[in-house]
Amino acid sequence: MQIREMEVIPVAHREPPLRNSWGAHSEVAARTIVRLTTADGEVGVGETYGDERVIDALERAAGLVEGMNPFARKPLELRLQDPMAYGAVDTALVDLLGRHLGEPAYNVLGGKVRDEVAFSGYLFYKYADSDPDSASVAPYEVDSAESMVEEAREFVGEHGFRTLKVKGGVLDPDEELRTLELLAEEFGRDVPLRIDPNGTWSVETATRIARRLREMDLRVQFLEDPVPTMHAHARLKRNVDYPIATNMFVTEFDQIAPAVELDAVDVILSDHHYWGGMTGNLRLDDAARTLDLGVGMHSNSHLGVSMAAMAHVAAAMPTVRYACDTHYPWMAEDVIEGGPLAFEDGCIALSDEPGLGVELDESELARMRERYHETDPLAYSSVSSMAAEYADAETEVGRAAWLPNKPRW
């Protein structure tokens, strides 16, 4: 078996104006679809970020991918030296091999350790959608604890999520604390809660908030990136007894050892887009288990190919102790046939169809590809590019002087 062609297909999809500590999402966002076709006409697909750096890296990688044996992945990874570009190709290779072998992707990865994968209801403060009728959920402005509870009712009612995560770092920390309190009052004090301020609190503020949380008797699973550096996380851990999770400061293998030496984190949030693909996430799982670290899963504004890949790789990772994050319920359109994939009681059930179990909708793919070339979509693949893109998007709501400075509180 030999790969004949690698297609790199940038697309743009509708996205709500979600807020975070860097600013806000614009209402059009970019993703990239990778499609591999063998000489025999077999196909595998992957999905990743949509900025020019990633697209350029994938287009350069095509010369190495075309002509390769899909089973011989390691030489490609070593030649690319780019975990994000390789991650997109790796996902497409896993899908291709699963289809070729007639096996689901989780079996290509070594087999599933769970039949369904739990996800959290990922709640955002947000601006009102400019086109409310096209929103998939919560088109109104969410700028208080009360409106966040209203948003959460929709998430739980429609998808059955049993864990709730608040994207913080937007309102005053005490208002975000009140949001967690009202969520517990609404859904029960046993509901697992999380908050992710994206590094916008000082160590002193994060310490105060954590101690208040203990007094309020909430079931907070962990604090995610509450402070702005790895060393600040290490200082914070000396003050509080909540686990500390990160997706900002441990995003590659070389960063694990310093984090452990500093005792800076307890939970690493995996992501098959930049930990070396689906197979790289299995290596991360082994490393975390060896070091007694917890594993969860990070999310970005992804479409159905990534959603399927997230479910398959999480099913094959024994150390995933927490419900995975996902932006997917916010997405109002998709590139897969029959999409979007459905949640039941907050979970995605694993398909036993070959590969990822999804097919591209060619008409939607063409429509979103055309939109990519006709618009200026939100596109990033790093913290610095994300900060610039989100800050730029603030001009759309009249906050042209917005500065994503941290810590803010």
Domains of the chain with CATH codes: 3-108+362-373 (3.30.390.10), 116-349 (3.20.20.120)
Structure tokens at 281: 């996430």
pLDDT score for 299: 94
For 56-82, what is the mean pLDDT? 96
CA atoms of 349 and 104, how far apart (whole Å): 13
For 299-311, what is the mean pLDDT? 96
pLDDT score for 388: 86
Query: Which range, of 232-246, 330-344, 379-393, averages the lowest pLDDT?
Result: 379-393
The letter for the amino acid at 390 is Y
- Say yes or no to pLDDT of 180 above 90: yes
Q: Which residues are catalytic?
A: 167, 298
Alpha carbon separation from 185 to 168, 194, 214, 339 (Å, rounded): 19, 15, 15, 34
pLDDT score for 400: 83
User: For the chain, how far is it from start to end, CA to CA, in angstroms?
Assistant: 56
Main-chain phi, psi angles of 43, to 5 degrees: -130, 145
CA atoms of 211 and 266, how far apart (whole Å): 18
Cβ atoms of 259 and 284 closer than 8 Å = no
pLDDT tens-digit series, residues 369-405 = 999 999 999 888 888 888 888 888 888 888 888 888 9
331 pLDDT band, cuts 50/70/90, is very high
Cβ burial, residue 53 (10 Å; 0-12/13-18/19+): middle
- Say yes or no to pLDDT of 149 above 90: yes
For 131-137, what is the mean pLDDT? 93
pLDDT score for 339: 80
